[in-house]
Amino acid sequence: MNLSTIVRVFVLAGAFILGGVLLNQILVAAILAVLSCVLMMALHLRRHNKFKSWISHPLTPPANDLGEYYPTAKRMHTSIEASRNRSRSLVNAAQKYKSIANNLPDALVILNDRMTIESVNRSATALLGLTPKDVGKSIATLIRHPDAQALFKSENESMMWADIPSPVSSETRLELRLFRVSEQETMLMARDVSDMSRLLAVRQDFIANVSHELRTPLTVLIGYIESLHSDELDRRTLLEVVQRLDAPAQRMKSLVEDLLTLTRLESSPAPDLSSLSNIDGQSLISAIIEEVQPFASTSHRITVDASTDVVVRGVHVELYSAFLNLVSNALRYSPDGGEVAIKWYRHDGSARFSVQDEGVGIEPQFLPRITERFYRVDPASSRVTGGTGLGLAIVKHVLKRHQSSLQVQSKLGQGSTFYCDLPINRIEEENLEHETS
Ligand code: ADP
C-alpha cells in the first residue's frame, strides 16, 4: 500500500471520527470509520492484484480501473512499447543489411581482430567456398593460396589486395580486398574478375600477334632499305630492290586494312535499317569473280550457280568483303587445276551462299578455331599466299551482324565447303514477282 492510500484512509477515518464527536455519535462514527477503512483497503487490494496480474503481461495496454496503479502501469507500458519498437527496427535494419549482403554479387566476409570469421554472405560460398559453418574458424586456414596468405598477414594498408584463382573453381579468378573497418573488425571482399582477366589476356595476345605479324614484313623492308644505302648500286639493281619492297609493303597494308575492318565490325552496333539494301547474290558474286580473277591461277576452274530471284537485305560492303574472303581462301588453299564452285540458292526458306573447293581441307580438330583472329592451320602456307589470318574472323563478324553464322564441312586432302544461310527478303521478292508477272 502506498503512502497516498494510507493518508486517504486516515483522512476518511479522521473525518468520520470528527463527525461522530461533533454529533455525539462516537460509536457510530467509529464503526463507519472502520467500515470505510476496510472498504478502501479491499478496493486497494483488488487494484493491487489486478496490477500484479497485468505486470505479468505488460505488452497489453493497462485498464483504466487500476486506480492509483494506472499511471505507473501506463508509464511502464509506454516504455516497454518504445523499447520494443527500437529493437524491432534494429532487427529490421539488421535483416535488411543481411539481405543486402546476401544479394551482393561479391563475397563479403567479416573477420575479427584475430582474423577469425564472424560472418559470411551467400556469394562467399559461391566464390570462396565459405559457409556459415566456418564462422569461428581462422580465414588463413581456409584460403591457402600463398598470395592470400600474404594478404592476411600484411600490415601494409596500401597493399591490401591479391589476385588468386577461386578455391571453388580454378577457372574463376578472384580479386581479394581487405579493409580494416576498426581495431576489432576487418572486411574481406572477393570479386569475380575472370572476364576482365580473360579480356586482358586476349588484349595481350592480340598485341603480341599484331607485333609478330608486322615484324616479318618490316624486317624485310628495313633489309632492302639498308641495301639501298650502298653507293655501288646500278640502276637495274636499284629497280629490282624497289620492286621487292612492294610485297612486304602490300602485306603490311593488307594487315592494317583487315585490322581496321575487324575493329570497325566489332565496335559498331548492329546495322540499322537505313544502312541495309537489297542484295542480289548473283550480281555480288559476279563482282567478286571479277576481283579475284586476276589473282587466281589460270588453271583454277571457277564455276558459278546463282539464282537470280533470291534477294536478301544487308550491308553490301560487309557481305561483299565476307564472300570475297571465302572465295579467295578457296582459291588460295586449292592446288592448280582445282575447281571452286560458288553457289547462291534458296535453302529451307533462307538464301544460302556456299563456296566449295577441292583444296587441302582441314582436320576436324582445327575447325572450331579457324575463325579466331590470327589462327592458321598451317601458318607458313597462309603467309606465302598473302593471308593475314584475319579473313575468317571478319567473315564471322559480318555474318553475325546479318543474323547468320559460318558453317564448314571439310575433309583433309579432299577439300572444304564454307557456307552460310541468310534471311530472305520476302517483301522485295514479292515485289519482283509482281513486276515480272
Ligand atoms: P588466312 O589469312 O590465314 O587465310 P583466314 O582467317 O582466312 O586466314 O583463315 C584461317 C585459317 O583457316 C587459314 O590459315 C587456313 O588454315 C584455314 N582455311 C581457311 N579457308 C580454308 C580453305 N578453303 N581450305 C583450307 N583451309 C582453309
Cell numbers for 202: 586476349
Residue to mutate, 324, 333, 397, ligand 1, most ligand atoms under 8 Å from C-beta: 333
Cell numbers for 408: 564448314
d(CA 415, CA 308): 27
> For the chain, what are the domain ranges?
54-101, 104-192, 200-267, 273-436
d(CA 10, CA 419): 114
Residue nearest to atom 2 of ligand 1 (CA): 387
Q: Was domain 273-436 assigned CATH 3.30.565.10?
A: yes
User: In this structure, are residues 344 and 306 in contact, taking their beta carbons and an 8 Å threshold?
Assistant: yes
Nearest-atom index, ligand 1, CA of 388: 2
Residue to mutate, 332, 382, 416, ligand 1, most ligand atoms under 8 Å from C-beta: 382
Residue nearest to atom 23 of ligand 1 (CA): 330
Give the pLDDT of the chain (437 residues) as one tens digit per residue: 667 777 877 887 788 788 888 888 888 888 888 888 888 888 888 888 998 899 888 889 998 888 888 999 999 999 999 999 999 999 999 999 999 999 999 999 999 999 999 999 999 999 999 999 999 999 999 999 999 999 999 887 655 889 999 999 989 999 999 998 888 999 999 999 999 999 999 899 989 999 999 998 999 999 988 888 877 778 888 888 888 899 899 999 999 999 999 999 988 888 888 889 999 999 999 999 999 988 776 778 999 999 988 999 999 999 999 999 999 999 999 988 899 999 999 999 999 999 999 999 999 999 999 999 999 999 888 877 888 999 999 999 999 999 999 999 999 999 999 999 999 875 555 565 565 55
Distance 331 CA to ligand 1 centre (A): 11
User: Architecture of domain 200-267 in CATH?
Assistant: Orthogonal Bundle (1.10)
Distance 370 CA to ligand 1 centre (A): 7
Strands in 161-165's sheet, in edge-to-edge order, are: 117-120, 107-111, 186-192, 173-180, 161-165
Which distant-in-sequence residues (6+ apart) come within 8 Å of 151 by Cβ? Answer: 159, 160, 161, 162, 176, 178
CATH number of 104-192, picked from 3.40.91.50, 3.10.20.30, 3.30.450.20, 3.60.70.12:
3.30.450.20
User: In this structure, are residues 258 and 398 in contact, taking their beta carbons and an 8 Å threshold?
Assistant: no
Report the pocket of ligand 1 as residue ranges, CB < 6 Å: 325, 329-330, 333, 357, 359-360, 362, 370, 375-378, 382, 387-393, 416
Burial class (CB in 10 A: 0-12, 13-18, 19+), 366: middle
- Nearest-Å Rg of the Cα atoms of the chain is 45
Residue to mutate, 376, 397, 409, ligand 1, most ligand atoms under 8 Å from C-beta: 376
Nearest-atom index, ligand 1, CA of 361: 25
d(CA 380, CA 357): 20
Residue nearest to atom 3 of ligand 1 (CA): 389
Cell numbers for 58: 505488460
